[in-house]
Chain A
Amino acid sequence: MSKIHVTTTVNGDEAEFLCEPRETLLDCLRDKLHMTGAKEGCGTGDCGACSVTVDGRLVCSCLMLGVEAEGKEITTIEGMAEGDTLHPLQRKFIEHAALQCGVCTPGILVASKALLEKNPDPSEEELRYWLAGNLCRCTGYDKIIRAVMDAAAEMRGEAA
């Protein structure tokens, strides 16, 4: 089967790959661009571990084909830190011990960042609903919620 050539932008850098039509964006990110931050948990859009943004919109990369990335702006967890400087969300996840095994963490960070760009001051309820599609089987969520709320406060310039 003939492969399709896709040109896209990932974390601000132009990227290109060849893929078969049925390969997902997640497959392409991980296996062709070797960006393994986005994880495959369920592969059916239930767990959120593969969360990325496409043209600023939070999506599951397992529910999108690689060929659909043509001409799009993709951001992944690999684009979150500035060099060695962690994003406040990443730093607060460490401070609050908001991760254990870490498989869900990239997706939750990407999803949380997307929320804070839309709403810098979410209520806890808004945050919990926003993250309803990001499953974590380790933490019980509470530390995750505290880490995101703390990071949001810091990013707003409020003392935590």
Chain B
Amino acid sequence: MRYHSPASFEDAAGIAASATGTTRFLAGGTDVLVQLRSDLVEPDDLIDIKKIPGVKDITQRADGGWDLGVAVAGAEMTETPALMADWPGLVEGMDLIGSTQVQGRATLVGNLCNASPAGDGVPAMITAGVTLSVTGPDGTREVAVEDVPAGPGKTTLTKGEVVSGVHIPARGAHGGDAYLRFIPRTEMDIAVVGCAVNLRLDGDTVVEARVALGAVAPTARLVPDAAAAIIGTTLDDAALEALAAAASAACQPIDDKRGTIEFRTDVAGVLAKRAAKIAYGRAKGNAA
């Protein structure tokens, strides 16, 4: 295994593009090192992107949105109160991943690119409308988070491409988001179902919404039908039931020891309702 620590994303992309064997990018390493140790993946070229300037920066843009460096760890996000105030659901999704020790290293982009269907960081990135800069041999392009996962362990990024920036939209007025997951214990587990909701209100009425589910399909997915079920409503009981039905209808889960198809499908609806209520409360300015 060759270890590289390039000083720019262009160099990182160049190394990856010219590599002939297995390549991995190293940021937090909380998945890459586990795969290395278990002999699942022994990269021929390991490209550490942490020497690239700016990868640990958290910056609020002039428009109120946020730019995160790709090596920003979960703990650094939870230590940024203004980011948490804007995007509590996004931050709490990231914060659910692993232990304190893992939070010291693990990153949003790593969670996305590891491409587990159950990654807790992904659904709320999707509902927030996060976009990524992706640098490759032909330059840098912007891509929506929901277009990155392609299946368990697979992304749509092509050879030589590396995520080089994370862009979170401005929160704006009267908005709120939330992420909930079901696990059989209270901490340190993999989501059986995850659900994120992001919405905006005009008065009491939901005028914009995005709903995403994790762990119930080969990838985390945006569920437009679930969002449509609550847009134009005051999140009354009928809207919540329609939301739950749409969320459950979007599920294509597997049966495994952590949850059956029937259970995951049902719980997706339950979590959608609960997450929507939390997001609604946050949009109204209630204490989270």
Contacts and interface: CB of A to CB of B under 8 A. Distances in A.
A132 B33 contact: no
Interface in B115-156: none
B287 to A, nearest CB: 18
B100 A63 contact: no
B83 interface: no
Nearest to B38: A44
A17 B101 CA distance: 24
Given A4-B3, A44-B38, A129-B187, A65 B29 contact: yes
Contacts of B75: 57
A133 B99 contact: yes
Contacts of A111: 100-101
Contact of A43 (B3, B37, B104, B105): B37
A58 interface: yes
Interface string B27-42: 0011001101110001
B100 A67 contact: no
A58 B104 contact: yes
Contact of B2 (A21, A48, A129): A21
A31 to B, nearest CB: 15
Main secondary structure of the interface of A (DSSP, over half): mixed
Interface residues of B, number: 27
Contacts of A60: 101-102, 105
Contact of B50 (A46, A59, A68, A129): A68
Contact of A45 (B73, B99, B187): B99
Contacts of A45: 30, 33-34, 98-99, 101-102
A132 B36 contact: no
B213 interface: no
A54 B34 CA distance: 19
A114 B101 CA distance: 10
Given A58-B104, A132-B187, A63 B99 contact: no
B48 interface: yes
10 contacts: A21-B3, A24-B33, A45-B101, A63-B29, A63-B105, A64-B29, A65-B3, A68-B26, A129-B187, A133-B99
Query: Nearest 10 pairs between A and B by C-beta?
Result: A133-B99, A21-B3, A59-B104, A57-B104, A60-B101, A132-B187, A44-B34, A63-B33, A133-B101, A21-B1
